[in-house]
Amino acid sequence: MRLAAVIGDPIAHSRSPRLHGHWLRRHGIDGAYVPLRVRARELEDVLRMLPRLGFAGCNVTLPHKEAVLRLAAEATPRARRIGAANTLTFRDGGFEADNTDAYGFTESLRAGAAWRADRPAVVLGAGGAARGVVDALVEAGVPEVRIANRTRAKAEALAEAFPRCVAVGWVPPVEGAGLLVNTTSLGMTGQPALEVPLDGLPADAVVCDIVYTPLETPLLKAARARGNPAVDGLGMLLHQAVPGFERWFGLRPEVDDALRRAVLG
Ligand code: ATR
């Protein structure tokens, strides 16, 4: 039996077991994917033990995404650029750390809308999630990434870390943009709505939220109301899981409506 896990603290809320569980059942694979609550002080020991117990790899969520990079035998260039990893694959003598968030974001955008990377993008937020999104946009060839954050110094630091990025005010210039994406927690159930004026945003610009509870955030609702294509945050969660599943279980799974239903269920 092949084994994989998601490690974090807290972990009970993670949707990854449902997601991988759906693919395991769908493909009749003799395997299991389990959530493990791992405290920071236990992280190193757990990562040594999991391969001995037969685990092929694991996903990593808060608060360990940066720490695992320091413990990795090898890290992919994108994990190094982002400064965090979410997908580990055990090998002899250690593990390889990768970050598939940027891949998940780009795949979700391409699957959810007719997005093209040839116009500026506006990114709201400058935290860990924003780093993955900015890396994805830069890699896709976006000519300019405008980063808007409540705490401007963080937008400036992020803009300096990546090419073709500029820090802009919290009410960002949206003129000429081909994409606007929220990476903050605003709009999530229990949080205030994200209030960003969309006036001036081109009618064909894609609006994307990485928040997926609720699926239709106030931002996406406002975007749809003015006719902009909108992409919800669930797609990124689903697509970022594909490379890990393929590595651990040996088969490249599909992201489809059945998976969306299984994860939301
Ligand atoms: P994550 O890893 O999910 O990105 P994070 O690194 O804590 O989490 O980043 C949270 C982001 O949401 C930040 O950009 C944060 O803005 P600040 O840098 O100013 O803190 C943003 N954010 C969270 N709550 C916010 C609020 N009430 N208003 C505006 N921005 C908020």
- Which residue has the CA at smallest separation from atom 20 of ligand 1? 151
What's the pLDDT tens digit per position in 5-45? Answer: 999 999 999 999 999 999 999 999 999 999 999 999 999 99
What's the pLDDT tens digit per position in 156-165? Answer: 999 999 999 9
159 with 134, same domain: the answer is yes
11 with 42, same domain: the answer is yes
Question: How close is the Cα of 129 to the center of ligand 1, in Å?
Answer: 9
Range of the structural domain that residue 64 is part of: 2-100+241-264
What's the pLDDT tens digit per position in 45-57? Answer: 999 999 999 999 9
The predicted pLDDT at position 253 comes to 98
84 with 34, same domain: the answer is yes
The CATH code of the domain that includes 156 is 3.40.50.720
* Residue appearing with tokens 């393929």: 246
Rg over alpha carbons for the chain, rounded to the nearest Å, is 18
Annotation says 154 is catalytic = no
Which residues, other chains included, contact 183 with Cβ-Cβ below 8 Å and sequence gap of 6+? 123, 124, 125, 127, 129, 130, 133, 210
260 with 144, same domain: the answer is no
Beta strands in 69-194 (DSSP E): 74-75, 87-91, 94-98, 121-124, 145-148, 165-168, 179-182
Catalytic residue among 15, 20, 22, 65: 65
- Do residues 165 and 135 touch, judged by C-beta distance below 8 A? no
Q: Which atom of ligand 1 is least distant from the CA of 125?
A: 14
232 with 106, same domain: the answer is yes
In whole angstroms, what is the distance from residue 138 CA to residue 252 CA? 26
- Do residues 73 and 79 touch, judged by C-beta distance below 8 A? no
The predicted pLDDT at position 229 comes to 98
The number of domains in the chain is 2
The CATH code of the domain that includes 96 is 3.40.50.10860
62 with 174, same domain: the answer is no
pTM score, whole prediction: 0.95
What's the pLDDT tens digit per position in 54-93? Answer: 999 999 999 999 999 999 999 999 999 999 999 999 999 8
Report the residue among 13, 150, 181, 219 best suited for mutation to probe ligand 1: largest number of ligand atoms under 8 A from its CB.
Answer: 150
79 with 167, same domain: the answer is no
151 with 223, same domain: the answer is yes
Q: Which residues line ligand 1 (CB under 6 A)?
A: 125-130, 149-151, 154, 183-186, 192
